[in-house]
Amino acid sequence: MLRIAIDGPAGSGKSTVAKKISKILNLTYVDTGAMYRSCAWVSARLEINGNPLVDKLKDVDIQLKNDSVCIIINGELFDITEEIRTPEITKLTGEIASDPSIRKILLEKQKIIAQSTPVVMDGRDIGTVVIPDAEVKIFLTANPEERAKRRYEEMVAKGINTKFEDVYNEILDRDFKDSSRDLAPLKKAEDSVEIDTTSLSIDEVVTKIIDIVKAKGY
Ligand code: DC
């Protein structure tokens, strides 16, 4: 069964590339960042009445479908696709992602999906922790200026008013938090193929990964 793990820092192009690959190879796409973002949304938006967030998360069903992210809590559905991308939730996600009890819950969910379904899964710890025996492991990088430029242009296209400098600093801050946390930090798995996407188009990156998949006989 083909399981592709794609890791890398914020803005390296993981989700755009992973979505395209999922369509070409007919694999389920799992955006694990969206799962962490959903937990941050629950923590910021729902009454948890002083109880630990993990208790609330036991009742939460996270549904990742195509381009939408929904959660169901006690039968009530919330479409949180847009809201989980706000700067406020992005910042909170960085903090929540370093909480071992939250990582444990999401890790279990991610492992279950990857056991039964051919997937392309993206995140920070997919090749190292979630699917250490993935058939194909990719580590995407790009220099911070280029990653900030991509994020900035994406935000401007969505009509979000922001300054390049703020986006750049946010990328550096996330790089630091993602790579320096104790548990499941952003790290290239020894057996993953590193692709520097700084001067590559999305389609060029997709083609490189498809070639790697084909070379493995899939
Ligand atoms: O990929 P993203 O920007 O949507 O990720 C949001 C945050 O979640 C980011 O701060 C890193 C964290 N994350 C993580 O710790 N482990 C993952 N597998 C995926 C994301």
Q: What is the pLDDT along the chain (218 residues), one digit of tens a residue?
A: 999 999 999 999 999 999 999 999 999 999 999 999 999 999 998 877 778 888 888 889 999 987 899 999 989 999 999 999 988 999 999 999 999 999 999 999 999 999 999 999 999 999 999 999 999 999 999 999 999 999 999 889 988 889 999 999 999 999 999 999 999 999 999 999 999 999 999 999 999 999 999 999 99
- 47 CA to middle of ligand 1, Å? 23
Helix (H, G, I), strand (E, B) or coil at 168: helix
Whether the CB of 129 sits within 6 Å of ligand 1: no
User: Which of 120, 121, 124, when mutated, tests ligand 1's pocket best, judged by the most ligand atoms within 8 Å of its CB?
Assistant: 124
Name the residue with the closest Cα to ligand 1, atom 8. Answer: 33
d(CA 31, ligand 1 centre) in Å? 9
Are residues 86 and 158 in contact, defined by beta-carbon separation less than 8 angstroms? no
Alpha-carbon dihedral sign for residues 141, 8, 6, 162: negative
Q: Looking at residue 50, what is its pLDDT?
A: 77
Total structural domains in the chain? 1
Which of 15, 36, 89 to mutate to test ligand 1, by most ligand atoms within 8 A of the CB atom?
Answer: 36
At 21 the pLDDT is 98
| Residue nearest atom 1 in ligand 1 by C-alpha distance | 33
Residue 48 contacts residue 56 (beta carbons within 8 Å): yes
Hey, what amino acid is at 150?
Answer: R
Dist. CA 94 → ligand 1 center (Å): 7
DSSP-assigned letters across all residues of 54-91:
HHHHTTEEEEEETTEEEEEETTEEEE-TTGGGSHHHHH
Confidence (pLDDT) at 49: 73
Domain that holds residue 53: 3-215
CATH of the domain at 53: 3.40.50.300
Check if 94 has its Cβ closer than 6 Å to any atom of ligand 1. Answer: yes
Does residue 8 line the site of ligand 1, with CB under 6 A?
no
pTM greater than 0.85 (yes/no): yes
Rounded distance between C-alpha atoms, residue 29 and residue 168, angstroms: 28
